[in-house]
Structure 1
């Protein structure tokens, strides 16, 4: 594994000046070549870069664990799932929050605050956007870590505070909502003569109106985590967001995402699955095949088991003369580790190599009946994709997810609106979004979306918006879960919140059995241990989280739960 970072967005890099170590910060303060008043519109670069340039997270968190825990993928034949439930080298987004993301966002706010009073107003939108980015990044870290430093974080420069307290999620959820609401109101107020981030903002190019919508969607998303803790707060936030003049996403064109423009982003290195090859999981593929999900070819590649290959194996005597070709090019593996040696399944976990003799000449052929994940969505070099002009997409907040959240709230009677309409708009948005991702990534065998196939999918009994309340909620959350395929950390969070997919559900979650024992899928990361100076606060945070009885007996109990993830 290589720790290679590739970046090709083509934005300014002036913000990098503030990402260096603060060990000699006093010297930097007096340096004649380093400005103490950098343009705040340039300081966003390192933060937004660090949110999406996450090849290390993909290599470890996603490929080795989250995609397999959520049963999108399975360790391919010829590889091993060893260590699947004892994660290592994960959770690097935690480090990025404090080293690269948060401190430049805080610096934007501090630089503006140091400007003359009559100049500060023109930077209001910059400060508000930085706040939304800071809340998103901190929430994403806390989502799987629990209590983290927030209100006192990043104070080493300003207040020489090297021992920030760890805030509870209960406190942070309220703080984040208030901060987001204020930021959205600022962005929606139409302030004149605002300085813009411009091209330094790789998401919205400094468009305050779009950032305001994203802030509202983020408020709603964070609030949804409180459904098991404080449903009345969820209702209040939903009502407030729906009444906001800033509005919500109106289409896929509004959503918060990154689309690369450069040819050298997300290519090879840690982006590649070659060292952690993943095949499709059986339950996922079967659900998508059975219901004719239009995203099937966007999530998974066809296997190599073509009719021509079958015929050559039959001609060579590998198969009997009466064997019949089964025309199914999407086939998955069981997710449970023990099924790799189960006689009923062991054959599909074997790499199939055949030596065929034609006219006295031996030809070696592979008959791969299992479908890989759609590798080029994650690594643009996959499947001979180098220098083909492909572009990488990373969703952050999507219009489809917004629709599914509103559908769920409507079904629960916590928000107004027609749940069926929200649900069907969500499916349509998700399918269209993945169609666009596949087209931009130039996946092999790409075919434009068939509108009739999409409508047929929505009408399929397992998908159609019919059934009792519990069935409707399950269907909504299945579609929300599938929509997070390209953001497996989000799929992990959605599964924890809603309990969907579930064992024996419409989209079944396969029980994971290892060495004869049913194994619980991990639900959190271990809270990283800080330097010696702040270990007391760290230990107190863990002790506090253990009071619920659900966090686990020790900080490395990955099956424990953080505060919002209540049983």
Structure 2
């Protein structure tokens, strides 16, 4: 791992933050570092920081595995795809939940409880926001791990409980929904004057109405995760959430996202793809290019072959005089690792080096250039130092839960007859919202060759036969979930979850086919879960019991490290 990039939010609350350096559950009972005089509203920053300041996860989980499994990216020419299906150094968000994120959110309640009774009511909204953050973080940790300590995970300090039991997802999902519902109700109730965290709360600056929407939309998302397992309960939750007044996002302005406040965030270190360079996945790029997707130049970079470069290569003798410039500068790589060894594909996977000779002042000079014939994944969207980036006002965006995703969820639910409403309207609104959101991300990141969104780009895109909301119910569902998948490009852990839930993109698709993956001629399944991290020896029994319980479904897989196995919600 490279050096960790330092945090920069422009919020001067570091001295008030909770410590997040514990390794084991017993450590949660030691060295409390929170003064009882610290304003509770200032304690939320550290947990929110822990959700988005995740360069280690980007380097390993995303760049090395998830973006490649999902075929958004492919190991670039000169790189190796060895070990792609045997992930290591991954899943750090699970540990972060216990070391800092969840621990600090629970501590907020403890700090409020120690305030004078007459002051506690002013922190009702803060505690509700903390509960939404805790549910989101726990669910994100559980999503690819399965069972996890939750109900008694943070009792080390209060009850000296160093061996928390593992709650099953079957228990956790209804519990999470109840906590979210209660938090939303609190935020929408008539509250006395509330202590606001202001800009110390990095997502919504303490905006209660927006947090209520975020919590309610999260209820719908979690309910959709369990539609296969507990359809009746999931449908009841969705109906209840849909009935909440002012409980849905109405535009991109409601998006739950992080936008960096200063220019030091998201730069170099593990944010960079230097040691794990990714080229565009061919099928993904071709789909976007064939349909004139306005997000194409935001997801992927053009290759190196400008007209000026071609002219230079001809002049230097590296190219013949008959060589022609091709303005098709978006080219992807096949995702299947075996394609790297096939003669028909060897040229595109080869690193291109050209030697040019020029005569200067009567002397011959040689210049060697290494060039990309294929497009790279848009590096500056993930690392603001890419493309020779400087502190020029560029800002980093990390979506958590968006209006676009909500629209795609509602479109799917409408097609399935679970909710009312016009699915075409939901779908079209989702596509428009996603394109505009990525347009904003590109502008904030100041990506190279950024051009503002053309006035007719979205309507033209929605008119394309492969995009327009037409066809049978199955075809409509595929179009919805392809667009939702693309929308989650900047949150690959979410795209991974969406793919597992829907099976889209799929290998036999006529719209966006997922390439069949093989190694040495043998089919290889894309991983579906992480290995549940081992706790300390004291809690090994509970950990083993959790794995044994998850294996009862018959879908968890053989052994602890069967990454192709499924957690409870991921039902076949």
Name the TM-score, length of structure 1 as normaliser.
0.97
Does the 8 A contact of 1:14 with 1:45 survive in 2? no
Aligned to 1:419: 423
SS at match of 1:454: helix
In 2, Cα distance between equivalents of 1:289 and 1:409: 29
Does the 8 A contact of 1:28 with 1:34 survive in 2? no
What's the CA shift for 1:16? 2.3
In 1, Cα distance between equivalents of 2:113 and 2:400: 29
Does the 8 A contact of 2:381 with 2:445 survive in 1? yes
Does the 8 A contact of 2:266 with 2:383 survive in 1? yes
* Cα-to-partner distance string for 1:201-226 (whole Å, 9 max, x where unaligned): 00011111110000011101111101
Aligned to 1:16: 17
Does the 8 A contact of 2:283 with 2:515 survive in 1? yes
Match of 1:434 among 435, 438, 446: 438
What's the CA shift for 1:363? 2.5
What's the CA shift for 1:117? 3.4
* Cα-to-partner distance string for 1:19-61 (whole Å, 9 max, x where unaligned): 35497888857xxx96345321121121011000000001100
Aligned to 1:207: 207
What's the CA shift for 1:364? 1.7
Does the 8 A contact of 1:15 with 1:44 survive in 2? no
In 1, Cα distance between equivalents of 2:34 and 2:97: 24
* Cα-to-partner distance string for 1:436-481 (whole Å, 9 max, x where unaligned): 0000000000000013121111110111000001000000000000
- For structure 1, which segment, 1-10 or 328-337, has the greater mean C-alpha deviation from structure 2 after superposition? 1-10
- For structure 1, which segment, 211-220 or 6-15, has the greater mean C-alpha deviation from structure 2 after superposition? 6-15
Describe the shift of the 1:389–1:412 C-alpha distance in structure 2 as closer, same or farther (beyond 3 A): same
In 1, Cα distance between equivalents of 2:244 and 2:27: 45
- For structure 1, which segment, 13-22 or 37-46, has the greater mean C-alpha deviation from structure 2 after superposition? 13-22
SS at match of 1:538: helix
* Cα-to-partner distance string for 1:47-86 (whole Å, 9 max, x where unaligned): 0110000000011000000010010001111111111000
What is the count of residue pairs matched by the alignment? 564
Aligned to 1:508: 513
* Cα-to-partner distance string for 1:489-513 (whole Å, 9 max, x where unaligned): 0000000000000102111100111
Aligned to 1:178: 178
User: Any residues of structure 2 matched to 1:16-165 within 5 Å, and which?
Assistant: 16-19=17-20, 21=22, 28=31, 35-36=35-36, 38-165=38-165
In 2, Cα distance between equivalents of 1:34 and 1:509: 49
Describe the shift of the 1:23–1:417 C-alpha distance in structure 2 as closer, same or farther (beyond 3 A): closer
- For structure 1, which segment, 445-454 or 38-47, has the greater mean C-alpha deviation from structure 2 after superposition? 38-47
In 2, Cα distance between equivalents of 1:25 and 1:222: 28
In 1, Cα distance between equivalents of 2:142 and 2:18: 27
* Cα-to-partner distance string for 1:363-414 (whole Å, 9 max, x where unaligned): 2233421111111110000001121210000000011000000000000000
Aligned to 1:471: 475
Does the 8 A contact of 1:273 with 1:375 survive in 2? yes
* Cα-to-partner distance string for 1:178-211 (whole Å, 9 max, x where unaligned): 0000000000113121111212100011111110
In 2, Cα distance between equivalents of 1:38 and 1:442: 38
Does the 8 A contact of 1:177 with 1:219 survive in 2? yes
| Residues 1:553 and 2:554 are matched in the alignment | no
> Structure 1, unaligned stretches of length 5 or more?
none
Match of 2:375 among 368, 371, 378: 371
> Structure 2, unaligned stretches of length 5 or more?
none
What's the CA shift for 1:18? 4.2
Does the 8 A contact of 1:15 with 1:45 survive in 2? no
Does the 8 A contact of 1:14 with 1:43 survive in 2? no
SS at match of 2:343: coil
In 1, Cα distance between equivalents of 2:70 and 2:427: 22
| Residues 1:519 and 2:520 are matched in the alignment | no
Describe the shift of the 1:527–1:314 C-alpha distance in structure 2 as closer, same or farther (beyond 3 A): same
User: Any residues of structure 2 matched to 1:303-342 within 5 Å, and which?
Assistant: 303-342=303-342
SS at match of 2:144: helix
What's the CA shift for 1:320? 4.2
Aligned to 2:460: 456
What's the CA shift for 1:134? 0.2
What's the CA shift for 1:561? 0.3
User: Any residues of structure 2 matched to 1:189-204 within 5 Å, and which?
Assistant: 189-204=189-204
| Residues 1:539 and 2:540 are matched in the alignment | no
In 2, Cα distance between equivalents of 1:333 and 1:223: 36
| Residues 1:494 and 2:495 are matched in the alignment | no
Does the 8 A contact of 1:14 with 1:42 survive in 2? no
SS at match of 1:293: coil
Match of 1:361 among 365, 369, 372: 365
Describe the shift of the 1:551–1:3 C-alpha distance in structure 2 as closer, same or farther (beyond 3 A): farther
Does the 8 A contact of 2:77 with 2:349 survive in 1? yes
SS at match of 1:387: coil
When the two chains are superposed, the root-mean-square deviation of aligned CA atoms in Å is 1.6
In 1, Cα distance between equivalents of 2:30 and 2:150: 27
What's the CA shift for 1:316? 4.4
Does the 8 A contact of 2:28 with 2:154 survive in 1? no
SS at match of 1:394: strand
In 1, Cα distance between equivalents of 2:554 and 2:26: 39
Does the 8 A contact of 1:61 with 1:90 survive in 2? yes
